[in-house]
Amino acid sequence: MDNSTMITEFLLLGSPDGWDLNFLYFTVFPMTYLGTLLGNLLIITVTTADQNLHTPMYFFLRNLSILDMCFISITVPNACVNSLTGNRAISVAGCATQIFLVIFCASVELLFLTIMAWDRYVAICQPLQYPLVMNPQFCVRMTLASLLSGLLYAGVHTGNTFRLSFCQSKVVHQFFCDVPSLLRLSCSDTTSNKVLILVSAVVICGGCFLFIVVSYFRIFSAVLKFPTKAPGKAFSTCTPHILVVSVFLSSITGVYLRSSATSDTLDDMVLSAFYTMVPPFLNPLLYSLRNKQVKDAVRRLMGRQLFSGK
């Protein structure tokens, strides 16, 4: 009989040995989750209701906000409920679903951030060609291509993970199911899995990161030639994007490429919280609080609501 049938469920780890993280599950996690939902919902509402924000940049920002709401909803509510009820069991099917959705959202997030870097490059460095290059058809096609690529990428990694046999332990040293934690529980040869993760990290993550870096290098090179006030405006637009990309890629790389021999459970949980929670939480804060167009749109929307209420 296949050893994989020996385990019908996994147990998610609430807190590493010697640490009590219940305060995180009862305070930080719910507050971050609520702030993420409200912030991203605000961006979705404003970019949809305000005609002035019906541009490619805000089209992708709206899609990113929808994705971020889904991304954080995959892990945080379940972790909070598990901590509250004390029931940390998750079925194999539930674990596979969670892994698939996390990888899907993470990969699409990276692709959206890459497309947004390209959008800023064209807008700043090729403003006359911007309406032709970033036309509505192109935006829709890039969105669909990102979603389909995410589905394929998540399906490959999830299928490659659950072809393994799990017969050593059923305790997942993480607050949600992820590939590195399950590889440590497998009694099968995981060499091909690790090679696939490494290759995909180099090709996809490395490729997207290189594309983003080159885009911003060209942007910064171009804006330095502008009048005095133009560089400051361009830098204020691009800096939040760079910050989100840096946090996202550094934390997800730390989780997936660390050696299991030197891996620490608490460090893994912190890094996982960073790539699943911090970017979705930061996106609405950075793009709304630092963006004059969004702030003006919020004021106009609130003004219309107050006026209609009289």
Annotate the chain with DSSP letters as a single string: --GGGG-SEEEE-SS-TT---HHIIIIIHHHHHHHHHHHHHHHHHHHHH-GGG-SHHHHHHHHHHHHHHHHHHHHHHHHHHHHHH---EEEHHHHHHHHHHHHHHHHHHHHHHHHHHHHHHHHHH-TTTHHHHT-HHHHHHHHHHHHHHHHHHHHHHHHHHTTS-B-S--EESSSS--HHHHHHHB-S--HHHHHHHHHHIIIIIHHHHHHHHHHHHHHHHHHTTS-THHHHHHHHHHHHHHHHHHHHHHHHHHHHSS-TTT--HHHHHHHHHHHHHHHHHHHHHHHHHT-HHHHHHHHHHHHHHHHHH-
Average pLDDT over residues 167-185: 85
Instruction: Tell me what pLDDT residue 6 has.
Output: 62
pLDDT at 261 over 60: no
Instruction: Tell me what pLDDT residue 1 has.
Output: 38
The tens digit of pLDDT for each residue in 157-170 reads 999 999 988 876 78
pLDDT at 24 over 80: no
Instruction: Tell me what pLDDT residue 145 has.
Output: 97
Average pLDDT over residues 215-222: 87
pLDDT at 34 over 70: yes
The tens digit of pLDDT for each residue in 286-297 reads 777 667 777 777
Residue 283 confidence class, pLDDT cut points 50, 70, 90: confident
pLDDT at 200 over 50: yes
The tens digit of pLDDT for each residue in 113-137 reads 999 999 989 988 888 999 999 999 9
Higher pLDDT, 4 or 52: 52
Mean pLDDT of the chain: 84
Instruction: Tell me what pLDDT residue 40 has.
Output: 94
Residue 68 confidence class, pLDDT cut points 50, 70, 90: very high
Instruction: Tell me what pLDDT residue 3 has.
Output: 43
Average pLDDT over residues 134-160: 95
pLDDT at 22 over 80: no
Share of the chain above pLDDT 70, in %: 86
Instruction: Tell me what pLDDT residue 161 has.
Output: 92
pLDDT at 156 over 60: yes
Instruction: Tell me what pLDDT residue 139 has.
Output: 94
Which range (87-91, 165-169, 228-232) has the least confidence?
A: 228-232
pLDDT at 227 over 60: yes
Average pLDDT over residues 187-212: 89
Average pLDDT over residues 192-203: 90
Instruction: Tell me what pLDDT residue 2 has.
Output: 46
Average pLDDT over residues 270-286: 86
